[in-house]
Amino acid sequence: MKNRILITVLMSVAICGCQKQQAESSAEPDSNIRAQFEQSDNQLSGYLDKLDSSTICMEERISILCNQYPEEYKNNYMPALLQLAPEEYTEKDLLRDLDNALNFYKLKANIQCS
């Protein structure tokens, strides 16, 4: 009986120790993903600030709407956000949000991407 209790306690300690170590090692990739997300979010905010400005030329507006913004969103922002909050967001929802944002600015500036 004492041997069973001792074995159970030792196994519990070993499992808890392994879980804590695993959680600590997974914290660094999470911080890297968070940094990627924040950097990408700042980049996208910069694009939106430019699109809201009346001083940028049409060529730059087209480049942002048709190339830069969708590339940054799909290649950096969306993957990081899906890793940080997979229970809150889906790829389908994020792509719909991207389309809504791009369509708003395209209609506002009368731009059609080829």
Q: Which of 36, 42, 45 is nearest to 83 (CA)?
A: 36
> Stretch 48-73: mean pLDDT, rounded?
96
Q: Is the pLDDT of residue 20 over 60?
A: no
Task: Determine the pLDDT at residue 101.
Answer: 95
Task: Determine the pLDDT at residue 3.
Answer: 47
What is d(CA 87, CA 82) in angstroms, rounded to the nearest whole number? 8
Encode pLDDT of 69-108 as tens digits: 999 999 999 999 999 999 999 999 999 999 999 999 999 9
Both structure tokens of 37 = 């997300």
What is d(CA 101, CA 30) in angstroms, rounded to the nearest whole number? 27
